[in-house]
Every structure is written in structure tokens, then in C-alpha cells.
Amino acid sequence: PPEIRREDYAPFPWLVPTIRMEFDLGLEKTRVRTTMDVERNPAADASPTIRLNGDGLQPVSLTCDGGDCAGHMMDGDDLVITLEGDRHTIEIVTEIDPSGNSQLMGLYASGGMLCTQCEAEGFRRIAFFPDRPDVLSTYTVRMSGPKAQFPVLLCNGNRTGEGEGGDTHWAEWHDPWPKPSYLFALVAGDLVARTDSFTTMGGREVELNVWVREGDLDRTEHAMESLKRSMKWDEEIFGREYDLDLFNIVAVSDFNMGAMENKGLNIFNTKYVLADPDTATDGDYDGIEGVIGHEYFHNWSGNRITCRDWFQLSLKEGFTVLRDQLFSADMGSAPVKRIEDVRVLRGVQFPEDSGPLAHPIRPDSYREISNFYTSTVYNKGAEVIRMMRSMAGEELFRKGTDLYFDRHDGEAATCEDFVKAIEDGTGLDLVRFRRWYAQAGTPKVVLKLEHEGETAKIRLAQTVPATPGQPVKEPMPIPLKLALFDRSTGKHGGEELVVLGEESAEFAFDGFAEKPVLSINRTFSAPVSIERAVPREDLVFLAARDDDPFARYEAMQELMTGYLVAAVSGDLGENEREAARADIARALEAVIEDDRLDDLMRGELMMMPSHSYIAEQMLVAEPGRIHAEREALKADLGARLASPFHALYDRAAKIEFSLGAEAKGARKVKTLILGYAAASDPAKAVELAAWQYDRADNMTDRQGALMVLAGLDSVERTDKLLDFYNRYRGNALVIDKWFALQASSLHPQVIEHVKALSEHADFTLKNPNRVRSLYMAFAANPHGFHAADGEGYDLIADLILELDPINAQTAARSVPPLGRWRRIEPGRARLMREALDRIAAAPRLSRDTFEQVTRSLG
């Protein structure tokens, strides 16, 4: 497959101002008549032909201006038509088989209903069209089909007509907002809606619907409330108002990702819609609120202003992730949300940025765009915009975004347009800052704190590591929030923002008789890694009293990570180990006993750094040793702190269920304590987890208990897993949890379990949620995935090969864990490479998997 390059961008020679589509719907056969008005694009080079993208389509009929076309041919999957004049009407009929569409791109069937997914290039599986985001058209869509099978017919925009005749009925929809084809959507099925309304700040009355299957209606309240909160928040914080009289959300159980922001008709994975306390965890509730917000916010950052080409993806995704992060922070605990976001960034994006798949947030080339919906484009993209916000301050940043929305409304824009608008609106100079868009790799900042006389000096030096295709980098402006604490008073004189704009710089601060304690990169103001030699006592100090909750969390993480990295590397003698563990335990105990903390935040401070984060700190990781040392530390802390843990658990267990922050925090600390107990006193942990499981009146407690049990060999493990299955059989989202719990468990036989589960009657490769719950959970479980004999790697390679012809997008998403081989000890690295080689050697790989495997082999 050819490589597509950003620098080759050229505007499309034709405009398609209007398109009309008529769908004659059927599960096995859907007929699509597409009529488009095309005219020459004055801003592009003239072309004697128009290229209409297709993917697996044949034109059943084709006319130009009602008659024969001057000439046309298939070029691969595309239809190329010769056009002589300046304006034409092209009409093409295509036929598709939605039920045979296992890729879940284009029009497909899911549980008897029909739905679409077009981003990025799915529209070309429905109709021949210039399937690129810079061709914007006004859509009118007529859909007709059997009334009994598809009682509900939905499309973008507003419904403008409906009717019936015999067993069939039809509906016509019109979307007044010009949009690219990737935002087209259609749904036909037997659905019911929770209906509500929202009055916008301008007084527009908007009908809101959340469409689900009949039995799911009572699990839609949280989604609806989240939607209304999103609409209000976007008005208040970004001044963005909704622009149609109708907003529909449809939940679908077969879906390649989380959700899709189609204009006026968002389509969601059921996972991000359905919730009630019995079936959804606190994490699920938060996920729903975040994703509903995210898709809604796309209406402005994505739909009103879309992307010129797919290299600009972070224009809409990075910005929209930032918007959903700020929204969730405002709806719940802002510090905890920030910590969660940083954990995702470090757990997923940092490894991506330091591996063979590293790419800038605005990539320079791709073969398959689906492979670039990455944590880099999304999460690092959000961090880059967040840095601009930190440097400008909230008020000026809002001026920048107002200018951006104003200036580019209705356009297909670029990342450069965004930066320019922020620059003009805020007055910041972002000339060098633009490098964050162009350069991949997580910058490393080496920090030295010196103290002389009354002056504290901070020396900073940055390096941006080489990444594939980018051996040499320029320094990037790095905004670091910092505070210098007086050791004796425990206070600091105010937070400062310094920007490291060059390769290195020095910042001096006066008035310190004694060497201060430095709190750096507060709130994680820059997505970088900081390397510094910091005395453990300073970390203990910050963990106990830093007034920035993120920095407190960071100090706890650094304490544990520092110890674990040293222990894994074999750098510590027994005495040093003991001293470090004792310090960590003391810091943790202070956290447990600090009554100024709420439990949600306490839980963050109690969390151990993840395996992948520890591995990321090491040039070459030994997964077995990391796992062993991490478990040993957990056991040690569990034993040392048995009694404070016990007291905290008891206190938390008395708090009654509610969805409020206090009860949520209580649930979080309870399960964390179970995790420590599982390592220090497994028999006790089994007992306590079984007790928590039995008396649980909500999914968070129940799943937490079962997660711990799943890792411990015991009768209770078998019993409770069976109980859980029987209790929830038939509820796909909960059965997904049942698969995932077992696949991510610390049980010694986890590989056997995963193999057996892949044969389970409820397992299917056709449903992406199910595949993720078994295999992606397993690939993220270092203990199983990195089994020393390579069996875990083989399991994932086998999955990829079997899944690739069914669902290439999902198959390709399992490749990156194997691509980490360069950073793993040689024995496993060889086995990982062999697994990749075996995939690469397979005939007829999809473009998705082929690209990921070849890049991973590098």
C-alpha cells in the first residue's frame, strides 16, 4: 500500500455542494442511489476527471446530467469519471450487504439493526464519493425499508418528511450544515428512546434522544444527564451553542471504538451509554460522562470546524480531548481527573512515543489512517493545547479559542490555523512552540537544584529523543510550574511558571537560607519526563504536604518508582531496600491518616506505579523482575500497614452506596486495600474479598472484589466467578467484565484461562468489545503477556492472524504491545520479534495490520 504524505496535500479539484442519497434498506441488501452536484473548485488545479473513492463497490448504474457519462473507468477501487464542463450532476447506484460487513466500517448490521461508521474512510464502502474531510456538502437523505424490522429511521440533521405504504415506510432527513462524508450517519432499527430537552443560551429548544434496545431504557439516565451537562458546560466555558433542533444518540453493541460524533446523530458503543449501579462501575460512569461530553464537544471542535486532511486529526481530537478533560474535571474532582489523565498519558502515550510507532501529534505520513487514532494524537495532542492554555492563562486562552471558532467556522482547517488563532488571540509567541506539532518523542528534562548563600538555582536541560524518521530534534518550549518549599515552615512563596525555551537554562530564586524542597512540573504542566537526583526525604516531605494534589501524587509515585527501578536493576543492598521500604510505608501511612484528604484523592496517593510505567523508566526492561519486585513491595506495604489499612477499610465499608464523591472514594480505597492484602496475606484477602463480593450492592464493589479473587487460587475464586457469570449472563457489557477480569488477573495460570475463555460459548471475534475484554486485557497484563516462554506473544499473534480478515482495525490495535521488543530483555525480545515475523509472513494481511507490523519490526 502506498504511503500518503502530508506535504502532498492538494485541494480537491471539485466541490460537491449538495448530495442527495436514497437508501432502500435491507440487512442483506441495501441499495443506495447517490445524486451529487459537482462544480469545479476555483481554488484547485483544474482536472479533466473526478475521482470518486470506493471500497469494494461496483456502480450498478451511473449517469452524468441524466445521460451517459463522457467516460469513466475503475482505477482500483475508485471510480474515475471524465467531466468536460464546469458543473454536472452525477447519479450512481450501489448495492451493499450490511450483514456481511464484519469490519464495522460503512453500513453494517448489529443485532438486527443497521448503522454506520464512516470516520475516517468508511463512507466509500457505502457510495462512490470524494471521501476526504475537505469536501463539504449539504446532505438530503431518504431512507425506506420494512416497517416491522426498522421502525425507527434516523439520519443527520432534522427529519423533513415521512410516510408509509404497505409494509414499508420511509423518512427524509436534511442536514443544513455542510459536512464532510466522514460525519454522515444513518440508523435503522427497533429502538426506543429516552427523550428530554435542552434550551440553549440563545433560546433554541433542542429535543434530545438516547436510543437503545427496548430492555436497556432504564440504563440511560446517566447518559442523558451527562449530555445536558455537556451542552450547558460548553456554553459557559467555551461560549459554544448547539445548532440543530434535535440531538440523537444511538447505542450500538458492535462498535470499533468508543463513539462517533456524526452531526446531530452520535453513534455510541453501548459501553459508553448504559449504566446503572448494579451493572456499571464508578469508572464506567465517569467514562460515559467523558465520552458523551467528548462527542458533544466535537459539534464545534470537529464538525463546525473540521480537518483539512487526516494529518490534522489532532486539530479536532487533541482539542476535544482537552475539552472533555476540563469538563470532567469541573463535574467531579479536578485533581483526581488530572491524575487519571496523566496516568493514561504515561501508561499508553509515553510508551508509544518511545517505541517504533512514535509519531508527531501531526503525523507526516501514513498508509492506513485508522492506525493514527492514537494516544499521541489524542492525549499528547490535548497536552500540547493544555500547555498553550497554561502559558496564556484561562482568560486569554478563551480569547484564542473564540477567535479560532470565529475565524474558521464552516471550514476544513489545519493545526497551523489553530495555533495561529491562539497566537493572535492570546498574544503568545508560538513560533518555537509549533515544534510540538512536528516532533515526536517525549522530551527529557534533566534538572539540578543548587543552593548557595540565599539563592536556589535550578538548572534545566532538555533533550528530545530520536524517533523513527526523526534522528535530530530542536529544543521545544517546556512550561514548568514549580514551587520552592521552605523546609522548616512547610510553605512556599507562590507557584511560578518557568518556560524552558532553549536547550538549557538556569533560574535563580532568592531568599532561601536553607536549601528548599523543589516541587516541579506541578499539575503536570508539561508532558515530559524529569530526571533529577532527589533525596528521598524531599519526596516524603512533598508526599505529605505539597499543596498541589498532583505534585503530592507525583512524589508518592516517584518514591515508589525510584525504589522499584533501583531494586529491579539490582542496585540496592538489603539495608538500602529496608530503608527505602520503610520510608515508603511511612509516607503511605501519613496518606492513610491524613484527614484533610478525601478518599478519592487518598486512593490516588495509595496507588502503586503501573508495571508499564516502571518499565518505561528502564532502558531495557525485565518484565519478570519488575512484576516480582512490584508484588514484593505491595506485600511488604500490605504487611507493614495491615492495621491502618484495616481501619481505613472498616471506615469505608460503613459508608452506604451512593454515586456521590464520598461513597465513590470509599469504594476506591476498599478495593485498593484488597489489592495490598492479596499480596501480603492472600488467605485473608480471599476472605475479605468474598465478603465484599457477597454484600456488594453495586458493581464497583463487586467487580473490585472479583478482580482480587481472580488472581488468587481458591474455592472462592471459582464460586464467585461462576456466581457473577450466572447473575449477569445475557448482559453483554457485564459479561465483558467477566472476561476482562480473568484475562487481566495475576493468577499463575492466566494463559490457560485465556485459552479456555477463547473457546467459551460467549466468546466471539465478531464483537470488538468482547475481543478487547479478552485479548486486549490480556496484552495489557504484563504478568501473562510477558510469560518467559513467549506463549503470551503467540497467543496475541494468533489472535491478530485470525481476526485480521474479520476486523482489521481491531486486529491492528493488538500489534503495538508486540512492538515494544526493543525495550525488553533479549530473550523475550527475540520471541516478540518472532511473533511479529510470523504475522508479517502471512498472505493477504490488511493494510492496517501490515502497516503496524512492518513499523513495529522497524
> Which residues bind to ligand B3K, rule: CB under 6 A?
119-120, 257, 259-261, 294-295, 298, 317, 370, 373
Of residues 299-318, those binding Zn ion (CB under 5 A): 317
| 373 touches, from ligand B3K, Zn ion, none (C-beta below 5 to 8 Å by class) | ligand B3K
Give least dist CB 318 to Zn ion, A.
Answer: 9
| 260 touches, from Zn ion, ligand B3K, none (C-beta below 5 to 8 Å by class) | ligand B3K
Cα torsion 353, 355, 360, 362: sign:
negative
Give least dist CB 682 to Zn ion, A.
Answer: 42
What string of DSSP letters covers 107-126?
Answer: EEEETTEEEEE-TTTTGGGT
Q: Which is nearer to Zn ion, 317 or 368 (CB)?
A: 317
| 156 touches, from ligand B3K, Zn ion, none (C-beta below 5 to 8 Å by class) | none
Q: Which is nearer to Zn ion, 319 or 785 (CB)?
A: 319
Cα torsion 97, 103, 107, 108: sign:
positive
Q: How many CA within 13 A on the CB side of residue 589?
A: 15
Give least dist CB 168 to Zn ion, A.
Answer: 36
Q: Which is nearer to Zn ion, 382 or 696 (CB)?
A: 382
Q: Which is nearer to Zn ion, 352 or 423 (CB)?
A: 352
Rounded CA gap, 285 and 287, in Å?
A: 5
Cα–Cα nearest to 624, from 610, 611, 609 = 611
Strand partners, 110: 113
Q: Are strands 61-64 and 71-75 parallel, antiparallel or unpaired?
A: unpaired
Peptide bond into 120 cis (omega under 30): yes
Whether 295 is a known active-site residue: answer yes
What string of DSSP letters covers 5-37?
Answer: EGGG----SEEEEEEEEEEE--SS-EEEEEEEE
Give percent helix, percent strand, percent coil of the chain, each to the nearest 5: 45, 20, 30
Of residues 316-375, those binding Zn ion (CB under 5 A): 317, 320
3-state secondary structure of 445: strand
| 119 touches, from Zn ion, ligand B3K, none (C-beta below 5 to 8 Å by class) | ligand B3K
Angle at 772 between CA 266 and CA 329, to 5 degrees: 55
DSSP type of residue 621? B
Give least dist CB 367 to ligand B3K, A.
Answer: 14
Give least dist CB 322 to ligand B3K, A.
Answer: 13
Rounded CA gap, 211 and 197, in Å?
A: 14
Give least dist CB 324 to Zn ion, A.
Answer: 8
Which residue's Cβ lies closest to ligand B3K?
A: 119
Which are the contacts of 101, defined by CB distance < 8 A and separation ≥ 6? 107, 108, 109, 125
Q: Which is nearer to ligand B3K, 172 or 317 (CB)?
A: 317
Q: Which is nearer to Zn ion, 121 or 317 (CB)?
A: 317
Q: How many residues bind Zn ion (CB under 5 A)?
A: 2
| 257 touches, from Zn ion, ligand B3K, none (C-beta below 5 to 8 Å by class) | ligand B3K
Rounded CA gap, 306 and 315, in Å?
A: 8
For residues 612 and 349, is the Cβ–Cβ distance under 8 A?
no
Cα torsion 521, 526, 527, 533: sign:
negative
| 120 touches, from ligand B3K, Zn ion, none (C-beta below 5 to 8 Å by class) | ligand B3K
Give least dist CB 431 to ligand B3K, A.
Answer: 29
Strand partners, 482: 496, 520
Q: Which is nearer to Zn ion, 26 or 302 (CB)?
A: 302
Give least dist CB 359 to Zn ion, A.
Answer: 18
| 282 touches, from ligand B3K, Zn ion, none (C-beta below 5 to 8 Å by class) | none
Q: Which is nearer to ligand B3K, 177 or 509 (CB)?
A: 177
Give least dist CB 42 to ligand B3K, A.
Answer: 30
DSSP type of residue 434? T
What's phi and psi for 30, nearest 5 deg?
-120, 130
Catalytic residue chosen out of the listed positions 295, 368, 383, 716: 295
Angle at 818 between CA 812 and CA 819, to 5 degrees: 85
Q: Which is nearer to ligand B3K, 262 or 617 (CB)?
A: 262
- Cell numbers that stand for 847 in this block: 493494510
What string of DSSP letters covers 654-684?
Answer: TSPP-SSHHHHHHHHHHHHHHHHHHHH-HHH
Give least dist CB 735 to ligand B3K, A.
Answer: 25
Which H/E stretch holds residue 477? none
Q: Which is nearer to Zn ion, 261 or 548 (CB)?
A: 261
Footprint of Zn ion on this chain (CB under 5 A)? 317, 320
Catalytic residues: 295
